[in-house]
Every structure is written in structure tokens, then in C-alpha cells.
Chains A and B, each alone.
Chain A
Amino acid sequence: MAHSEAGGVMTVEVQRYRPDVDDTPRLVSYEVPWTQDTSVLDALNYIKDELDSSITFRWSCRMAICGSCGFMLNGEPKLGCEQFLRTYAPGPLRIEPLANHAVERDLVVDLEPFMTKLAAVEPYLHPDPTGTPEPGNLQTPEQMTRYGQFAACINCMLCYAACPQVGLATDFLGPAAITAAVRYNKDSRDFGNAQRLPLLDQEDGLWPCTFVGACSTACPKGVDPAAAIQQAKFAATMDWATEFVMPHHGAPGAKDGGHA
């Protein structure tokens, strides 16, 4: 193994909140044995199995693809399954629920606002109104490159926890939802730009974003949502300018280049 052998016992502080009893959350400390490949998720499961079975957190795949186990680790949004205690040695490690979210219980946060925002941007292919070629669309690797990075979002919500504007403007669509819209807008098979752009070009759409850039730093999948948002702002501005110069001539449905 490339990692040096290490281990010991680490103090792990977990924010607990039981909604039927507590008024405010509190930090509870646990002593967790660890080795060089103990993940933060392993630590939480150790606590649940051995110390306190009522501790509550979401998790599933263990391989950073299902997006369930986003937490604040020492104040930074991370996926618990791909972070290891060795990184935080000698401790203590503080685990809190994702910032900028209502806390349902312990480390479980409310995802309903995001689900509503995601659905609001129509994140699905709007097919060519003149018909889809059979048996399927052609799409070159170059055309895939245009949106490929933005399609890698796993909806883990780390970007929402990283973004101060999400905290300040609760109705802001937010990085992942806008990225989903941009992903389809840039897909050569999609013809939904005309519908989606007005959804983005709203006070609570794109514009609360002030390009802090923290979303892209937090993203565990290299999606770069900040870039997606700025590109959407650019497209919205160009659309506005075109409309201003040539009313009803600049087709807002036209793809921002590259449609074959």
C-alpha cells in the first residue's frame, strides 16, 4: 500500500439534533479507532453499530457516486465515503450536517427545496420538434465534450453547502440545478433552450450568483458548476442584447453554437 501505515483512536465530534426533543443541535464526542483506510463513513458506522444506534446519517454506495453522504468535515463540505480519518489525524474531526440546509435530524438535511429547484429547470431532453432521427440521434465525441463535464453532477449538495449565496438567498436556484439546465442546453440533441433560458434568467435564477467560485472547489466530481453558471449568464446576456438590438429576431431557442 502506498499510504504509510497509521492508526489509533481519534476524537470525532458529531453534531446531533433530535427534532422531537432538542431545540438546538449540539456536538457530541466519540472515540473512534481508525487505520489508514478508515473512511469518515466507516467512522460514523462504527459509532452507529458500537456506541449509539440512534445516530442518523444518509449513506449508500461507498464509492462517491450516489451522492448521499455529504457532510461538513471541519467546516468543509465533503463526501464522507471518500474522506479518510488519516487526513484529519490526530484529530479531533468535527462532522456537521451540510451548511445552508435545514437540518431534519443529526446529519440528515432537507433536500426537498433542491428537488423542487431541479425539477423547475426542466432537466430533460426537449427533442427536436421536427422529429428525432431513427434509431437514435448521432452525436460526435466533440459534441459530447461541450456538455460532458456538466453531466457528471451527482446531486450531492456539496456545492449548495459551499455557496454563501445559497445561504443568503434561499430561493436561488443554486449551482447543481443551473448546471443541470446548462448541461441540456449544451447538448446537441436538445431543443429546450427557449424554455429553459427564461427559467434561469430570473431574479432567483442565475443572478444571485456572484461568482464566489466555492461551488467548483467543493465539487467532488470536477463538474465546475461556477463555469456553468457564468456561461449561462453570458448566454442570457447575449440573448437580452440580441433581443434589444433586433427585437424578435434573435431566436432565443437557437443553441449557443455547435448544434449539428
Chain B
Amino acid sequence: MTGAPTSSPTGPRPEDTRPAPARTLDVGRLAQADRVARRREEGTGAGDGTVSQRNPYRPTMKRTWFLATKEYRAYFLREGAAVVVGLFVLNLMLGMVSIAAGLDSWTWWVDLQRNPFVLVLNVLALAAAVLHTVSWDQLTPSIIKVQRGTRFLADGWIIAQQVLLLVIFAAVMVAWLGGAWS
């Protein structure tokens, strides 16, 4: 045993003359005696000495693990949807770059938005954003716990508060942007 604590024992104890505790002493005469004494029966399957008989099987995950259960599929959809949102954001950034680059490129970008692929991307991005909003609302109650006495506020209240904040934020944005335009 190494790393024994250094604090002194609390109780009365005799002279410390004993040898330091050791984990194993599998060498020398004693171990030799062990080997002599060990008469391994053939075919019993007994472990030979101290050689481990372990042979664990280590399963590997299938490449399609994310399709295995409903929960994994929902998780994968959630993660996958981020790619769509990412593409949508790339498109927006491209639009901003094209404004800076001048009228021609801006017109090109506006035309690009009529491309069926971009239209589909926009629709998918909307769906993905809705999915993320819903899953965010669903997952938040696990993290935000409001304790009332010996109970936690029900998940519905946390979700309601999320939705309320979203509505207020949207209303403020609309009012602000509307004010800027008028």
C-alpha cells in the first residue's frame, strides 16, 4: 500500500515495529512454496497462478446507432437540424456581403432567393427553427429549477415563462423596427 495518509493515529498504540503493509509478496521462497503446493487439476478450468482468465468481449457501436431508438432519432433530428439553420445563416451572410459589394451582386443575391433550392432551404430552416424552439422549451425545465418549499415548479410553468419571454422579445422587436420604419 502506498500513499498511506500521514496523519497520526488517534488512539494509543504499541511500538511501530511491524513491517510496512505490502500488497503482494509473490517472489522468493514463499512464492516458490506456493508453486510447489499448487497442483492444478487438468480440465478444471482453474486459474493458473495469478494470470487473469478474463477475456471480455467489447461490443462496438453500429454506425447507424442514431436510428436505433425513438429517442436517438429525435436527438439526431435536433442535431441535424442545426446544419440546415447553419446553411440558412450562411445564405443571410452572403446577402449582407452582396449589399456591401454593390447593386449588381445584390440583384444576383435577390435572384438567388428565387432558386427552388434556396426556397426549400428557407422552408426547412423555418421548420428547424421551430423544432429548436420547441426542444429548447422542452429541455429548459431540466436546467432551470424553481423551488417552492419542498417542491419544484412544474415544467409547464418554466415553459410558459420561456414562451412569454419570447413573445415579449418579439413584440419589442416588432415595435422597435416598426418605429424605425415609420
Q: Which residue of chain B is the closest to A18 with respect to CB atoms? A: B55
Size of the chain A interface, CB-CB below 8 angstroms: 37
- Distance, CA A111 to CA B55, complexed state (A): 15
Task: Give how many A-B residue pairs fall within 8 Å (CB-CB).
Answer: 77
Assess A164 versus B150: contact at CB under 8 Å? Given A103-B56, A103-B59. Answer: no
A145-B57 CB under 8 A given contacts A210-B79, A230-B142, A234-B143: no
For window 203-232 of A, CB contacts with B under 8 Å fall at: 210-214, 216-217, 224, 226-227, 230-231
Within the complex, what minimum Cβ distance (angstroms) separates B2 from chain A? 17
Binary interface encoding of chain B residues 131-169 relative to chain A, with 1 for a CB under 8 A from any of its CBs, else 0: 000000001001101010111100000000000000000
Cα A144 to Cα B8 in complex, Å, equals 35
A102 contacts B143, C-beta separation under 8 Å: no
Whether A110 and B65, one on each chain, are in contact in the complex, defined by CB atoms closer than 8 angstroms, is: no
The verdict on A167 contacting chain B, using a C-beta distance below 8 Å, is yes
List residues of chain B with CB within 8 A of the CB of A212. Answer: 71-72, 75
Counting from the closest, the 4 A-B pairs by CB-CB distance are A19-B55, A227-B142, A102-B56, A103-B57
Given A102-B59, A103-B57, A226-B142, list of 11 further CB < 8 A pairs?
A: A19-B56, A20-B45, A24-B57, A99-B59, A103-B56, A104-B56, A110-B56, A145-B150, A167-B65, A212-B71, A224-B142
Query: Which B residues fall within an 8 A CB radius of A?
Result: 45, 53-59, 61, 65-66, 68-69, 71-72, 75, 79, 139, 142-143, 145, 147, 149-152
